[in-house]
Structure 1
Amino acid sequence: MINDTTLKNLINKYTPGPALREQQRQDDCQEREQPALLIIDDDPSLRRGLASFFSHQYQIHCCADGPSGLTALEAHPVHCVILDIKMQGMDGFSVHKAIRKRAPHLPIIFHTAFQSEHDLKAIINSYAPFGYIDKGDDDERLPTLVAQAVAHHERHLARNHSYQQAVTELDRQRRDNRVLRQQFSLDYRFGGIVGTSAKTQQAIELCKRASSTDITVFIQGESGTGKELFSRAIHANSRRADRPFVVQNCAALADELLHSELFGHVKGAFTGAIADKKGLFETASGGTVFLDEVTDMPAAMQTSLLRVLEEGEIKPLGSNRVRQVDVRIISASNRPLQQAVEEQRFREDLYYRLNVFPVLLPPLRERREDIGLLIKYFLEENNSIRPSVVTMAKEARQCFDRYDFPGNIRELRNALQRALVMVDQGDTIELEHLAEPIYSPGATPAAERQYQGTLHEMVAAFEKDIITASYGAHQGNKSRTAKALGLSRAGLQNKLERYQISPLHSS
């Protein structure tokens, strides 16, 4: 307990005079939200004095003991607590601990008549209050300390409000993105893959089964058969659908650039690396990475890819630090993986890691019953080019039915786009609107040619015929041929040299 003289000084000190009471009246007339103080003290005279002094500037909540103080804290927003330590029943230390559990950032000022400096240091070290004022201390530190505590808490609330606004905005954006992704993924649902042929439906069924797990998928199919479309459908129907889907053509970049693109690099790793860069595997964390033309991946990269599949680890170019990633890998190629292994261009251990769940996409010449559906689909899709074009003449349609489409669905789509541009009047695509080699009366479909030799020899001969036909159809233009076949220009050049194909041979 404190003596009468000290109590009188405290009451006089914290009791406002006439001028202060007038200011308080004026402030009360102003409609503004005031910060709130919670005063917890078992001395009624001291509570009244503190409440009277601070009420002109703050909302005041007074409590005579710890339990009622904690109840008030639950009922009212508070910016600062003035807490007595020596109280009957629940002392200030216990109240402090309880407040910290409820409001860890709320400033607490110990206000009590206490013991020695040694005890004071022990209290500060153990409880770390915002401040400490001795009831017998006759200076002006309490109002200043309260103002500092209130300002400190208001800054915290402002930061927290900004944080909550940011969290709310992020949640909104995530919801919007989820809706957009769901809408976007509708284009890649299995129902959106055009084709009713038995081989198409078989491929769709396999991909449906693969999408229900995280199994590693290898999609084999000629260029233009829709390998990326099927891989997107697998991703869109998987548990990773709301995470990124990234694509990389392994034949499109040199070894060092491909490593940087997939695994990232650190600043200074090579000339031009002016900053750290995340690779696609990190960017797609939680999602799916689609590696197209994986059989053309350089040998050094195959080792790094094997590490991802076995350990889920990547190492950026120029870095010694290993990073963990969580990605699903879907790979694809226009040639069998086994063939690349036998030709010693592909690691056998990587082959077993990638070829866990193989899916074979049929070429368009083996699913001719789907050509009509594809024509209808692409005509509707390309209405923005020629909205009036809605039909195709019988003779033109027969040309599409006879043609083997070495570039598969991609070539069919390009042929239709070209025909749509060529239509000058009317709403029907006629024979005259078709370009070679679609309109080539004397041509023999590749499907009717006979191939002899081993399987690999026949596949090579067939591939050569496809490339030769497409190269000739594009008048020896490598860029257009590569695009039609879904190859990089470098990949096409390698095949032209391997099969000794020239514009003369393809004419």
Structure 2
Amino acid sequence: MREELYKIELAVLLEIANIIADSRGDMIKSLEKALLVLHDNLQLENCVIYRLEEEILNIYASINFNKHQKIISQYRLGEGATGVAAKAKEPVVIENIHNDMLFLNKSGNRTRDMISYIAVPMIVDNKVIGVLASHLSRATQIDFEETVRILTIVSSLVAQAINSHLVIQHEKEQLLDLKQYYKMEWDAKVHNFGDIVGDSPKIQQVFKVIERIAPSDVTVLVRGETGTGKELVAAAIHKRSKRNDGPFIKLNCAAITDTLLESELFGHEKGAFTDAKETRKGRFELADRGTLFLDEIGDISASAQVKLLRVLQEREFERVGGSKTIKVNVRLVAATNRNLEKMVKEGSFREDLYYRLNVIPIDLPPLRERGEDIKLLVNFFLERSMKNHKKSVSLQEDAMEQLMLYPWPGNVREMENTIERIVLMGDENMRAEDIELLLPALENKKPNQTLLSIEEKTLDALELEALKSALHKADGNQTKAAQILGITMRQIGYKIKKYGI
């Protein structure tokens, strides 16, 4: 009898080892097969594997546990026989589960036929990663000592298998992250200019201008609607300049009040005004031997314009409240979404400063004129947002078409925010009707004042006018008209149908 049991035990261990060795990805399924071997051959009941996660033992694999029982059968370290086994790193034997307070029966699946409970810790490199446990019933043919010995051997096999599986899973996740990272890096090399994504003729023309002027120290004025990427252009110029090892300093002039703008630009001396408790360098000093990017340059006050003009002419200034002249070596890149020519005529912007700033103008096209780039940008922002939020979202063809037909009045910035909203609120199978719910309502968009010559016109009216003009210039050739407008054939076909041209 003893030899027969010994043979059965060896056969059980061999079968379990083979099951674990042959597991193909689904570790839980393989472990439950192994537990079933213990049940079928040794009559061990309610076999269960707990995994230790953040000081809590949760069921990882089991037989004879329903979904609810798996959820409620959690143990803290030191709680009940299962928790004690994990904390003490020693097997725990409950001889009579019906009168021992250490057996908590959280799952509620104890029956009258069950007599005892044994919990054995699973240990890898002296670290507990879980617990293997089972009940002994009246039908169980092996005693406590034999059960502990068998479960200890099996727990070692299971512990190594789970640990290896988790390590491989972690490495796979790291490889996936690296794959996504390198794909984005590759996309950046193939499609981007720095962080600017685009293949359309208009954006390619911008790239060419940047390449030509970046090595020099000439002042650049970047113009375009809000959200077109003016700061990215400034950064690209800096990265390709001889100053790329120097600082790249930014300031949004519209975000600073008139009283503080001069202090931000030129710095201040201690005691220059009420809150000036210490001497502070301004952006020009911080940008010495580097590049200073001044966004919304059209919003600065008349007094700041005078001082800015002097810095551009003489490369020197005084801090607010100071008398010492400070010389700087700064390359200036300015940006605006306003009509500076109109402001010069109205007298709200100095003409001499305008000419100093407008040495090399770069006009950024709005996204609606970059039809070929929309799909590229959508995929770029989609991948980045999915990586940031660790979520998978896929766009069906009609959903992508919906995004390509949308006019994007807020340009690239609006698209970036919209795609992030789609990732956060969407699912793995996004269709056109889902996208419509997540796109901003066009009625709420204000027409961009820098682009409209007649501010009373609606966006549709301007689009229709541009469409007719392009078709006229192209002698009715839709392909040429689409090239003029910077949109795809699908988009121009949709718009022609929309306006009944």
- Normalising by structure 1, report the TM-score: 0.50
Following superposition of structure 1 onto structure 2, how do residues 187-206 of structure 1 map, counting pairs within 5 Å? 190=193, 192-206=195-209
Equivalent-residue separation in structure 2 for 1:333 and 1:378 (angstroms): 25
What is the aligned-residue RMSD (CA, Å)?
A: 3.1
Shift of 1:344: 1.4
**Residues 1:251 and 1:192: Cα distance change in structure 2 (over 3 Å):** closer
Q: Which has the higher strand share?
A: 2
* Deviation digits for residues 455-495 of structure 1 (CA, Å, limit 9, x no counterpart): 98626446x869xxxxxxxxxxxxxxxxxxxxxxxxxxxxx
Match of residue 169 from structure 1? none
Give the counterpart of 1:458 among 453, 473, 478: 453
Match of residue 46 from structure 2? none
Match of residue 430 from structure 1? 431
SS at match of 1:307: helix
Is 1:316 matched with 2:319?
Answer: yes
Match of residue 257 from structure 2? 254
- Whether the 8 Å CA contact 1:389–1:429 is kept in 2: the answer is no
- Whether the 8 Å CA contact 2:399–2:430 is kept in 1: the answer is yes
Equivalent-residue separation in structure 2 for 1:204 and 1:227 (angstroms): 13
Structure 1 portions without partners, runs of 5+: 1-182, 467-507
Match of residue 286 from structure 1? 289
Shift of 1:431: 3.6
SS at match of 2:249: strand
Is 1:352 matched with 2:358?
Answer: no
SS at match of 2:254: coil
Match of residue 375 from structure 1? 378
* Deviation digits for residues 160-199 of structure 1 (CA, Å, limit 9, x no counterpart): xxxxxxxxxxxxxxxxxxxxxxx9xx89972542111110
SS at match of 2:375: helix
SS at match of 2:217: coil
* Deviation digits for residues 336-370 of structure 1 (CA, Å, limit 9, x no counterpart): 32122122110000001000000000000011110
- Whether the 8 Å CA contact 1:399–1:438 is kept in 2: the answer is no
**Residues 1:406 and 1:283: Cα distance change in structure 2 (over 3 Å):** same
Shift of 1:322: 1.3
Equivalent-residue separation in structure 1 for 2:451 and 2:431 (angstroms): 40
Equivalent-residue separation in structure 2 for 1:456 and 1:241 (angstroms): 33
Is 1:305 matched with 2:308?
Answer: yes
Following superposition of structure 1 onto structure 2, how do residues 210-221 of structure 1 map, counting pairs within 5 Å? 210-221=213-224
Equivalent-residue separation in structure 1 for 2:451 and 2:404 (angstroms): 28
- Whether the 8 Å CA contact 2:195–2:232 is kept in 1: the answer is no
Equivalent-residue separation in structure 2 for 1:307 and 1:382 (angstroms): 44
- Whether the 8 Å CA contact 1:189–1:237 is kept in 2: the answer is no
**Residues 1:294 and 1:381: Cα distance change in structure 2 (over 3 Å):** same
* Percent identity between the two aligned chains: 43
- Normalising by structure 2, report the TM-score: 0.50
Give the counterpart of 1:272 among 275, 278, 285: 275
SS at match of 1:391: coil
Structure 2 portions without partners, runs of 5+: 1-184, 461-501
Equivalent-residue separation in structure 2 for 1:385 and 1:431 (angstroms): 24
Shift of 1:267: 0.9
- Whether the 8 Å CA contact 1:385–1:421 is kept in 2: the answer is no
Q: Give the aligned residue type for 1:262.
A: L
**Residues 1:431 and 1:457: Cα distance change in structure 2 (over 3 Å):** closer
Equivalent-residue separation in structure 2 for 1:365 and 1:330 (angstroms): 25
Is 1:242 matched with 2:245?
Answer: yes
Aligned residues: 273
Give the counterpart of 1:418 among 410, 413, 421: 421
SS at match of 1:277: coil
Q: Give the aligned residue type for 1:227.
A: K
